[in-house]
Amino acid sequence: MSSPADSAHPVAPPQEPTIERIALESGPAHTRADWEKAAAAVLRKSRKLGDDDGDDRVWDRLTRTTLDGIGVTPLGTPDDLATLVTAGRPQRAGEWDVRAHHADPDAATTRSALLTDLENGVTSLWIQVGEHGIPVSELRAVLADVLLDVAPVVLDAPGDQLSAAQALASLANGTTLADGTNLGFDPVGASIRRGGLDAAVTGLDSSTVAAAGALAAQLGCRALVVDATAVHDLGASDAQELGYAIAVGAAYLRQLVDDGRDVAEAADLLEFRLAATDEQFPTIAKLRAARRLWTRVLELSGVDDAAPMRLHAVTSRPMMSKYDPWVNMLRTCVAAFAAGVGGADAVTVLPFDAPLGLPDAFSRRIARNTSALLISESHVARVTDPAGGAYAVEKLTDDVAAAAWGELGRLESATSGDGSGSLAGLPGLAARIDAVVAERDLQIARRKRPITGLSEFPNLAEVLPERAPYAGDGFAVRRYGHAFEALRDEPAQTPVFLATMGTVAAHTARATFASNLFAAGGIAVVNPGRADDVAAVVAAYSGPDGGQPVVCLTGSDAAYAAWGADLVAALRQAGARWVILAGKAPEGVEVDDTCAMGLDALDFLRRTREQLA
């Protein structure tokens, strides 16, 4: 029997092609085995999979493991979500709050810079106040032209949080502050910023939290920021950063409740700040997991309809490099994209020159325009939770949330038993972060986590832009490439001579590899070009008296086998004190060192610099 719709339209109208219709008309869906076979064929061509390896080995080859031991799979499947129940999904509808960070202690400069930001797309201000930024006494002058009922202001004053908040209150003088304004109290984060993890949190002073809550109630704004970038900047993993954020947030929540507020009201006084890195999918998962974790905390506290978590994402300070700082534009763009997709309510893109000092007008413009590009041109903010439903992202979100919940449990074990609910310490967190830092450093040293412009493709001839220093030298940040930066800070005074064996086509691959590797350690090279025999190489070699005590052979395997031993002997006779070979030395070719993919680059570069010295 036909339906009313069928009788009204006896001939079906033409249908627009959709993804679903195309999939149905193109035949049955492909299986997991089909994908494994296709992926394995590509990996075998690139020699990343052996002919005898099963197709299912592609999962091992293509799955990347985070520093929390979580696998980021190359492909998600419905099976990943078979038992998964989600909660706390991103709620932001529409554009995120574009938040600019200001820390220049000169009041006139900051006043002009923040007005320029507000006139050109920035929607809120994050103001560094105190010893690391604008003096408290200058806050009124800095914000004199800001409409506080339109532009939210978030304070950050680790050294004197109460004085900064009182200065803002005095400036407001009865004004209804814009939604999103936050006094920025964070006593736990402040202790870490000022004294490191070892000096942090010997007990939360409940009076500070109470004062923040009282002043915020008077002004009608938020009171506290749980700034987890304090531990991210010291090297924490995603799960450690999240576990810390939720533990500190829960401690603040308890103290606000003890001060007479109900849980929902107390939760609405908090904002969370997390770092967004250029590792796109882990960042998306981290931000989505944060909401899930906080929703669970509120559920356990008896709140089912609390306001959504207020989440501020700031592009990672440690991921940035002071060398080739222009690459930071790319890193921060990817990080901002991930923050927007992950559902951040506010996003701060730090200027690309931030590792060098106080940013200039150009870098500020690039920073704010990054969000403008993503929102207005790429339309990233058009969809709420755009990553939701993607099998791989949902699975990764769940894995990150589980790992962070475990970290939360370890930190919550230190909650004091005196009924105050305050955090008595951060048990074992410093040691756990140290272990993550050691593993990350090893991966960076081996260039398994390459840093473009620093550990890969460095430019020894670059001239860095000059920037004014931060007030109080800024906050302690352990940049991921700090060890390579230290080598670049003191470049070697003597170059390495490249013994280029054979034609350019024969030696250029290894010569380029070696040149980039040496440059990553602040070591220049001398490349004489084509040399067809031992005599030609030796003729181009100046010897130690000519400032070339270290030589690196660069050529093909065939050249190494044919005349490598004779060349090494001739170079030693010419005065070479240290001979390196790029690649694997064949039998009979005795050298002092070798360099190839996968080596500990830092260790190799330090050895080489010792010989150059």
Residue 28: the pLDDT is 63
Q: Which residue shows structure tokens 């589980």?
A: 402
Eight-state DSSP code of residue 356 = G
Residue 284: the pLDDT is 97
Residue 79: the pLDDT is 85
Q: Which residue shows structure tokens 């150009």?
A: 362
CA distance 325 to 465: 9
Mean pLDDT of 439-455: 96
Q: C-alpha angle 20/21/24, rounded to 5°?
A: 90
Q: Residue 572 pLDDT more than 90?
A: yes
Give residue 329's pLDDT band: very low, low, confident or very high (50, 70, 90). very high
Q: Residue 24 pLDDT more than 80?
A: no
CA distance 478 to 482: 7
Q: Which two tokens stand for residue 216?
A: 């915020």
Residue 543: the pLDDT is 84
Residue 474: the pLDDT is 75
Amino acid at 291: R
Mean pLDDT of 167-177: 94
- Using CA atoms, how far residue 338 sits from 308, 344, 374, in Å, is 19, 9, 10
Q: Residue 421 pLDDT more than 70?
A: no
Nearest to 339 by CA among 275, 400, 271, 417: 275
Give residue 423's pLDDT band: very low, low, confident or very high (50, 70, 90). low
Residue 424: the pLDDT is 61
Q: How many residues does the chain have?
A: 613
Could you list the beta-strand ranges (E) of 29-129.
Answer: 64-65, 71-72, 97-102, 124-128
- Using CA atoms, how far residue 284 sits from 333, 341, 391, 440, 467, in Å, is 14, 6, 13, 20, 32
Nearest to 107 by CA among 146, 135, 148, 145: 135
Q: Residue 529 pLDDT more than 90?
A: yes
Q: Residue 346 pLDDT more than 90?
A: yes
Q: Residue 16 pLDDT more than 80?
A: no
- What is the pTM for the complete model shown? 0.91
- Per the model's pLDDT, the better-predicted residue between 229 and 21 turns out to be 229
Q: What is the pLDDT of residues 378-404, one digit of tens each?
A: 999 999 999 998 999 999 999 999 999
Give residue 92's pLDDT band: very low, low, confident or very high (50, 70, 90). confident
Q: Residue 21 pLDDT more than 90?
A: no
Q: Coil, strand, or helix at residue 224?
A: strand
Residue 22: the pLDDT is 47
What percentage of the chain exceeds 90 in pLDDT? 80
Amino acid at 430: A
Give residue 147's pLDDT band: very low, low, confident or very high (50, 70, 90). very high
Residue 2: the pLDDT is 39
Residue 1: the pLDDT is 36
CA distance 20 to 18: 5
Query: Within 373-503, where are the H helices?
Result: 391-412, 429-445, 482-489
Q: Poorest-confidence range of 49-53, 162-166, 324-328, 367-371?
A: 49-53
Which CATH number is associated with domain 97-434? 3.20.20.240
Could you list the beta-strand ranges (E) of 421-549.
Answer: 496-500, 525-526
Residue 508: the pLDDT is 96
CA distance 17 to 84: 32
Q: Please report, to the nearest 10 degrees, the dihedral formed by the alpha carbons of residues 165, 171, 175, 177 taken in order.
A: -40
Give residue 415's pLDDT band: very low, low, confident or very high (50, 70, 90). low
Spell out the domain ranges in the chain: 15-81, 97-434, 490-612
Which CATH number is associated with domain 490-612? 3.40.50.280
Q: Which two tokens stand for residue 282?
A: 């882990």
Residue 211: the pLDDT is 93
- Per the model's pLDDT, the better-predicted residue between 28 and 14 turns out to be 28
Other CB atoms within a 10 A radius of the CB of residue 348 amount to: 27
Residue 25: the pLDDT is 55
Q: What is the pLDDT of residues 473-487, one digit of tens each?
A: 778 899 999 999 999
CA distance 3 to 1: 7
Q: Poorest-confidence range of 119-128, 255-264, 543-552?
A: 543-552
Mean pLDDT of 134-153: 97
Eight-state DSSP code of residue 377 = I
Where is 226: in which H helix or E strand?
A: strand 222-227
Q: What is the pLDDT of residues 481-509, one digit of tens each?
A: 999 999 999 999 999 999 999 999 999 99
Could you list the beta-strand ranges (E) of 540-602.
Answer: 550-554, 578-582, 593-595
CA distance 338 to 342: 6
Average pLDDT in the chain: 91
Q: Residue 417 pLDDT more than 90?
A: no
Q: Poorest-confidence range of 155-169, 191-205, 308-322, 360-374?
A: 191-205
Q: Identify any residues that bridge with 22 across adjacent strands, giving them in sequence order.
A: none
Q: Which two tokens stand for residue 43?
A: 């990996």
